[in-house]
A and B are shown apart, each in its own frame.
Chain A
Amino acid sequence: MAKKLLSGNEAIGKGALEAGLQFYGGYPITPSSDIAEYIARELPKYGGIFIQMEDEIGSAGSIIGASLAGKKSMTATSGPGISLMQEHIGFAAMVEAPTVFVDIMRGGPSTGLPTFPSQGDLLQAKWGTHGDHEIIVLYPNSVTECFYQTVRAFNLAEKYRTPVIILSDEIIGHMREMVDLPEKVEVINRRMPEVKPDKFKPYDTNFGDVPPMPPYGSGYRYHTTGLVHDETGFPTHNPKKSQALISRLVNKIRKNRDDIVEVDFEYMDDAEIGIFALGPVARSALEAVEELRNNGVKAGLIRPKVVFPFCDKELMESSKNLKKLYVFEMNMGQIVNEVERVIGREKIEWHGKSNGEIITPDEIEEYIMGRK
């Protein structure tokens, strides 16, 4: 272990390098640009390629291309940039190209509040691209977690052949904390085919919901398209085959949700009042929970580290004995819809804002004390 003082964004860069990043294509945008700067400096030392593309759409295209050619790849962006990338996030989901997209959230819509935090992209991360798909979305809340969640993002991308989105925000991205960097991390690589090229089908489900993926140039010649395709990779509009593809894309994530979902519980064992929060809001919430407990209120915190697939099961179980569940988020009401979907409206109190300010521990404590 080596101790290092890093920002959240640098820790994402460091995590990516340790996970095996070999290609980064990006476009500058606040507050994510320092990820590109860090990687532009460090990645060549690992033998990897950094390129600043002409825009976010091109950045996303380039990383999918690199992934198909066999390299672990990522991009990072913010605000309008993640909106621009959505078409290619869908393409990556459709062709099952392992890729990592980092979104350092800032105030929106539009150009919004470029240098201030928000949690305005929580639902866009899942629903931003058109069409049906599932996607994995992670959200660290400390610099250490930025490192480990990024390693995990690459591993999940490779394991499930899917784009993975890391959400962070201006607060987590730019705060500095000491990180214990491990000497080695667990690294997962995509599966290679077991059959010879003449027997190979790129989306053959005989090997499970996640087909093996040889790189271009390896002798396995196949077709890749964003059109609905069958197991051979070629377009089809046969309803049965179309449904089979979309079902598999969705199910390979849904069926493996237990392997993917991670939730952090704090003080929940005897909690009567729960707080549901993500990222930096969960840091405020934890402080508020401790303060509330000092005042005799049995409060606890539920913090998903993985936003999607959503933690239905964990939330249902952990909220059973709660009298109330407070949802705090830095937007005008996004993740609360997921929470309501799982446990109904009755117990829920929601507080959010979209003004570029973090929700503070005092704000949370006062809000709860005023409504209890």
Chain B
Amino acid sequence: MQRNKRRSLKLTGAILVAASLLLLASDNPPAQIPSLVAWTPETIAAASAGDTFRGMLLAKRCDHCHGSEGFSSVASTPNLAAMDKLATWKQVEDFRTHKRTSPAMEPIAESLSARDVADVVAYYAKLPVFQDPQDNRVFPQSRPDPSHAAIASRLVSFGDGERGIPPCQACHGPVAYRPGVPSLATQNADYVLNQLEAFAHRARANDINQPMRTIATLLTEDERHALAQYYGSGLGLQPGSSTAPR
């Protein structure tokens, strides 16, 4: 009886090992999936059905890093004020499924229920941004130097057709948006730069169909800095122009 049991255990073990070897050797490698989110009508409905008031209560826990008005006091933490619901929702979802890595955000995202996420996201989408440069609540940043501003505003409004870089404002606003794409109008410079570098070095890879990984790789070091400064100083609030701001 005992021997029989042991034998059957051994047999099961051998079958398991053989099966895993077969899986390893098979021709079809596992699909590389950047994000489990797909913008179907059901997903969009679930992501935008949040209760703003409940979100406000829940967001008290986010204040410490993301600021009580959605403007963070640390330059490498993103501002969430007026961020599109779908954009924030997708990032929380990617943190929850470990498609985007962050030691701080992954455990937080795991602890939230689906309803909590939708509520918090709805609250941050309601917070105002301030169009007046005198009342800019973005983390205090230096103005970009003029040569950098010229490089950035060209990329933001026209992109670079020769290298195949689309203009930033065609997806990140204010000209046009795509579902799940964040507005960069009042984002922190350090955060934008960190993300561009993470995309370029594949440390972040949760963009659906790899648009940002492609573009960040095509940009030069100088251009990434220029773009980060451009958005960090609030120049992204208006549609870009081809001339450097005075």
Chain A complexes with chain B: no
Residues of A at the B interface (CB closer than 8 Å) are: none
Residues of B at the A interface (CB closer than 8 Å) are: none
